[in-house]
Each structure stands twice: as C-alpha cells, then as structure tokens.
Structure 1
C-alpha cells in the first residue's frame, strides 16, 4: 500500500539533532538501522498509554521502522490522524491483497468498508502474519478513529469509501488499457496523496489545494511499485495479481507472465522500458507540487518520496533484474539522502542527477527510446527552470 511507502521517507531536519548517534559517522546500511531503532524507541514515549493507540502505533512501526518517528514530528492531533489513516488503509489493503477471499465475499466488504471504520464490533479474518493481527484487532483502529475530530474523520471516511469502491471495481475487471492503469493507480495511490493533503489542510499546517495536491506524486510512486513488484505479483498464491496494462505488455508477449522467462529477455526489457516511460509522465506535475510546499517536515517527507521513486525508476530502466525479483532498497536510498536534502535546491539537484542517470541508460535500439528521451528531457528542462526561479528566501525557509 502506498501510505506505507510514504513512511519510508524522512521527517524534518530535527531528526538528526534528536539522535544520540548524531556525532557518529554512520554507515547507511548498518549504523543507520541502529539509529532508526533508537529514534523509534524515543518516539514510543509520546504514544498515549491506552491499548487502542498503542496498537495503532505498533502497526505503524511494523510497516516502517522510522514511520512512527516521522509522524511524531507533527502536532499531536495531526499525528494521530495520520496514524489512524495509515491503519485503516492498511486494513483495506489487506482485504484487497488476500487472493484467497472469494470475489463475492471480498467485493461487498470493500464497498462497505467506510462504514466498518465506525464499528467497534466489526471483524474480518484475512491476511497473513502482522496484517492478520491487525484485522483480528480492528476494534482498536475503530476506537482510535472515533476519538479524532470530525474534520479528520470525514477525510478518512471519504478516502476509504472511494478507495474501497475503486478496489472492488478492479477485483471484477483486469487492467486492460493505459486508462484502466491510471484509474487503478488513482484509487489505490492517488487517493492516499489527496487524503494526506486534506489532513494537512484540515490541521492548518499547509494551505494547499486539497482536491488535487500530491495526487501525481502518489501515482508516480505507485507506478514505480507496480514495475518493481512484477515478479512478486505474478507469483502471488493462490492467484496471480496483474497490474501491468495489457495495452503495453501485449505489444511484446502473449501473456504477462512470459516476461520472466530467459528466452524473452529482449522483449521483457522493451516492455519494462515502456512501463518506466509511462511512469515518467507524472514527474513534471510532481515537481510543481513540491515547489508549493512550505512546511519543512512535509517538504522533506515528499522530497524523499520523490527521490526514492525517481531513483527506483532509474534503477529499473533496462534492468533485467526486475524480472528476477531483485528490488531497490528504499531504506538504503533514504539513508543516502538523510544528510543531503535540506533545501529545495538540494532536492532539485538530486532529482536532476537521477534523471541524467536514466538518460544515460537509454538504448537507441529500444522501440521507445525517442519517447523516453523526450520525457527525460522535459523533466530536465523543468528542473532547470525551477532552479532559476528559486530565491535565497525560499531556500532559507526550507533549511
């Protein structure tokens, strides 16, 4: 689920100042893990000492070792709202993800889920491991939800209603066209971004247009996830999950699962590059969105999200390892940027570097090479233009 991916990103610059390890030189793959665990332990002291809130924050920590600490950079009311938002969407996603549930059972639950969030008695056993525990103890999420102020409840109810309906629609149909693909990504990801922006707006920390803000950012990330999760989704038990649109993959193979076979390596790379090129369509809107953010914590949250996404796409492009199940490590990417992205200028430069990395990998023999180059060049041009209009005051406000 996309909201879990949001929480792999870092909060504001005070993270480093709060850490007892701040004076140490950190190895991003070893010491960073210890650092994050220390931050979570410190943040746990701020969790309300009642069972339902402790359970909701425990679920959050299970999704991301640094998720709870990021949320604790926010004011108490907004912090709790985002935690409950995560809980409810994680539960909704657990129902959608469980391919063992019959369609005739799953669809009504997805459609009615926005009503269950008010019901302390509702329970539905599904999912595995931690996600099953979440569903078994769903009443804790409902109890926490009912303690939020009404403006936050309205956002969470509306997003779960729209997302549940969208998920139900795509339980009953395949992702055939690129329009289908965009619509599916809107339901499972775009709505997360819109919901977060509405929560930020309701709290008063941002004066952003909540009807559109962060939608492109969310879809951009979702498409990177769909690309990276190819093998995992194809091998899902008891039934494959197929999110790559037929309109794209049918140009290269007869069946989507054929892309994983060695004999189809060249076709697989061409299809992969086509998918990456499609995702790049959203990058320019993302750059416009983040340029309007004023709160430092929210800026760094979305800056890391966008850099991880662009880094993932640059890594996946023309990379056969995508079909072997090898994934980019989000934590390593976040660790790489934690001490480097303090201003919007830092962000633009890092995004520019990833775009250049992708451009350098474009194979002129690829059938989509011209289109890919055009999209990367458009991104580079946008970045150059935005760098030229940054003022010293804007940089200082985000430092």
Structure 2
C-alpha cells in the first residue's frame, strides 16, 4: 500500500482513492452454505483476483453464470496454452470442450506440472457441477461460445498463428476476445437486465473485446517476443522493420515508436463502438463490469503512447492508485466519457508532430471529444471535477491536500 501511495503522490485523486479503498469495509462473500459455489469462487480467486472482485459485484442473477463462463473458458485456454501437451492429444479436447462441460465428474490431469491453472482442470468436476445448475439459457450461451472459441484455437494450433494482415489480426482477436464480448452481451439480454438490442449488436460486442485484446497485445510486445509469439500484424510492423525483432534495436528507436503509434491507432479505432455499447447498458452492475476494463485499456494506451519502454521493459502497467481511482469513478456514462476525454487529450498532447500517425491520432482523439460532448454533455462537468484532482473549486484543493496528508499517514504507519 505504501509503495502504491508513493507512486501516486503527484496525483491527489489517486491517493484519496487508495486511502478510501484501504479504509473502506470490504464486502464479504460467504458461500459456506453451498459447497459447489464455495469451490467455484475459490477457483475464481485462484485464477484471477482482480476479475473475481468485479464478477462478485454483479447482481445475483448473473454472478454465477459469468463466473462459470470465465472458468470454462479459462479451462479451455489452459489446455490450449500448455505446450507440454502434444497436438494429437490437445486437438480433440479443444474441439469437444463444449460437450465435455456437460459430462459430470470429468477432470483433466495431463497439463504439465508448471502450468499456472493446472489445478482448475484437476478439479474441473466442480466447474461442471456448477455449470449444470445454471439456467438452460445460460448453459446454451456458454456452450456455444466455448465451441466457437475451441474450434478457433484448434485452427490456430494446427495452422499456426500467422498474423500477416490487419484482417488476420482482427480475426485472431475475435476468437480470443471478441467472442467473450458476444457471450456476455447475450447473457445480459437473456436475463432481462438489458435490451435484446445489446445482444443483437454483435459488431459492438466484438469491438469491446478487440479494444481490450489489442491494447494487451501492444503492451506485451517484448514478453511475447521472448516467448516466440508474434501477434503484431506484419501489415503494420513490416512498414517499419525487416523483422519484428528489429524494433528492439536501439538504432531503430524512431521507427519502433512510429510502429507503436500505428498499433495504438489500430486499437483506438474501436473506441467509437466502445462508447456506443456502454451507452446501451442500463443495469448499474453490468455497466460497471463492462466499463472498468475499457477505461483501464484507455489508461494503458495513454501509458504506452510514445513510451519506448514497450521495447525495453516487460510488465508495463498503470499505477495501482490509477487502477483504484478508475474503478471508483466508472459508475456512470458521464464519468466514463469524461475519463475517455481526459486520456484522449493526454494521448494527443504526447503525439510527436513528426510521427506519420500524428494526424490519425489527432482525428481519433477529436472524434472522442466530439462524441462525448454531443452525446454525454454531463461528461464536461465530470471532467472538470477530475481535472481539479477530486472536486472543483476550493473544496477540491482542500480534499487534494487532505488526500496527500492521509497518504503520508499511511506511509508512516506502513514504514513504522
């Protein structure tokens, strides 16, 4: 906690958010009276603590269904991602996993000992037990997305991942992330929380997934290169280097940053759809569930833009204080639009006028501003509040100072 506050000392709103988070009572989720749910949420916590918290804040009607949707796809991914499993063994599981989830008692023990989520599959009978207790409508959605994703994984496992064109890039991101967006939208509509239109606008649901995935791919350049994975499309990087590896060479720094700008432009082209989709979500818990990853992606793109560390450092992340602040603020469309406007302005201000994508980035950032001002006029007031640190006017100055003092107290206590 102390290190997080130190990293955010120049950002009073983040310090306040961290202190509020530290001092606020945490929601206790008790599943002790239901052994199946207890095991489900144990596995959810083990596979992703951050995602677990967001899922458990959903309304009861959707919470178990989305928890199981995540765990089923994580199980599928754990088989696909394990390079110790030979292809002949792997492919049948990928192609039939949507049927396996209906088989009571099924478990899987063929993962290598170092596979991170191996235990999830060793105890997968608990996931199946929970899945079979879901409403048939949710089972159908989960099985359908699992089938489509499993077939996509099988295709890439046999043919290899060759991301040559931007169309290849979009197709790959669709299989690994866009399909998740489609499944979630179908659940939101199936439970009655959202209009049928949310599920029908598959283009918007797909863009929600693609924006997140493309942001992660841009960020993870060096890590993927180390693991001998190539997800940046050749149609983009081929304009700046002979090979993807050439981008890390110090003499190619200028070209590398231009290539990164190109990747960021490609990701930001989905923001119009993201804003349109979020404006359709009316249930508060669904809205926050959808909005938090999107604003974090926007914050990450701001961190990546013109940042040569993408080519020299792994594990580039936004500050913990920034993360907590974003989670706190992402509870209304006006606030989310304000966040997008703030980051769009920062991205645009960091752009290099000599960068070939200077105009492209400026146009997209201008469109974000135009859309938000026109459709979400309340975002202007929210943005002024955020820019002030906490609240507008003198109160904001006082609270910003109070946040810094509170942060110092926490630091002293932590270091004592």
TM-score range, shorter chain: 0.7 to 0.9
User: Could you say which residue in structure 2 is the equivalent of 1:98?
Assistant: 82
In the alignment, the residues of structure 2 paired with residue 34 and residue 243 of structure 1 have an alpha-carbon distance, to the nearest angstrom, of 41
Structure 2 unaligned segments of length 5 or more: list them.
Answer: 1-13, 380-416
1:30 Cα shift?
A: 7.5
Match of 1:39 in 2: 26
The one-character-per-residue Cα deviations of 1:81-115 (angstroms, maximum 9, x if unpaired) are 11110101111121222233333433332222111
Contact 1:200–1:206 at 8 Å: present in 2 too? yes
- Per-residue CA deviation, residues 344-372 of structure 1 (Å, 9 max, x unaligned), is 21211111000001101111111222222
1:292-331 map, 5 Å: 292-323=280-311, 324-329=313-318, 331=320
Q: 1:95 to 1:362 in 2, by over 3 A?
A: same
Shift of the 330–90 alpha-carbon distance from structure 1 to 2, 3 Å rule, reads: farther
Residue matched to 2:410:
none
The alpha carbon displacement at 1:27 in A equals: 5.7
- 2: CA distance, partners of 1:26 / 1:266: 35
2:210 aligned to 206, 213, 219, which one? 219
Range 183-192 or range 70-79, more displaced: 70-79
Matched residue count: 359
Q: Separation in 1 of the partners of 2:110 and 2:21?
A: 36
Question: Contact 2:334–2:378 (CA<8 Å) still a contact in 1?
Answer: no
Which secondary structure state, in structure 2, belongs to the residue aligned with residue 214 of structure 1? helix
Match of 1:142 among 117, 128, 143: 128
Inter-partner Cα distance in structure 1 for 2:267 and 2:72: 27
The equivalent residue for 1:112 is 96
Q: Post-superposition shift, 1:26? A: 6.6
RCO greater where, 1 or 2, for CA within 8 Å and sep 6 or more? Answer: 2
Alpha-carbon distance change, 319 to 281 in structure 1, aligned in 2, over 3 angstroms? same
Q: Tell me, what secondary structure is at the counterpart of 2:376?
A: helix
Determine helix, strand or coil for the equivalent of 2:26.
helix
> Conserved in 2, the CA contact under 8 Å of 1:167 and 1:184?
no
Tell me which residue corresponds to 1:76: 60
Q: Quote the residue 1:209 is aligned against.
A: 198
After superposing the two structures, state which structure 1 stretch, 254-263 or 264-273, moved more. Answer: 254-263
Asked if 1:354 corresponds to 2:340, the answer is no
Measured in 2, the distance between the counterparts of 1:268 and 1:281 equals: 20
Alpha-carbon distance change, 103 to 27 in structure 1, aligned in 2, over 3 angstroms: farther
Report which stretch shifted further, 141-150 or 168-177.
168-177
- Equivalent-residue separation in structure 2 for 1:313 and 1:121 (angstroms): 41
Change (3 A) 1:356 1:167: same
Q: 2:322 — aligned with what?
A: 333
Aligned-residue CA RMSD (Å): 2.5
The yes-or-no answer on 1:169 pairing with 2:160 is: no
- Structure 1 residues 48, 210: CA separation in 2 closer, same or farther (over 3 Å shift)? farther
Query: Secondary structure, in 3 states, of the residue corresponding to 2:280?
Result: coil
Which residue matches 1:13?
Answer: none
Q: Aligned partners of 1:255, 1:298: CA distance in 2, in Å?
A: 42
**Cross-structure match for 1:121:** 106
Per the alignment, residue 20 of structure 1 pairs with: none
Q: 1:141 to 1:331 in 2, by over 3 A?
A: farther
Return the offset for 1:265.
Answer: 1.7
User: Deviation of residue 260 (structure 1)?
Assistant: 2.5
Q: State the TM-score, normalizing by the size of structure 1.
A: 0.83
Quote the Cα distance in structure 2 between the aligned partners of 1:34 and 1:105. Answer: 50
Report the Cα offset of residue 47 of structure 1: 5.9
**Structure 1 position 156, deviation (Å):** 0.4
After alignment, is 170-179 or 158-167 more displaced? 170-179
CA distance in 1, matches of 2:370, 2:32: 45
Instruction: Name the SS of the counterpart of 2:102 in structure 1.
Output: coil
1:251 to 230, 235, 239: 239
Give the Cα separation in 2 of the matches to 1:232 and 1:48.
42
Kept in 2: contact 1:122–1:138 (CA 8 A): yes
Counterpart-to-counterpart distance in 2, 1:102 and 1:248: 32
Displacement of 1:263 after TM fit? 2.9
Distance 1:251 1:48, change over 3 A: farther
Q: Does 1:383 find its partner at 2:369?
A: no
Deviation per residue, 1:16-55 (Å, 9 max, x gap):
xxxxxxxxx97656774686xx636x11x146531x4322
**Equivalent position of 1:49 in the other structure:** 34
Aligned to 1:131: 117
Provide closer, same or farther for how the CA distance between residues 267 and 101 of structure 1 changes in structure 2, counting only shifts above 3 A: farther
1:56-78, Cα deviation, whole Å (9 max, x unpaired): 21121124435444333334342
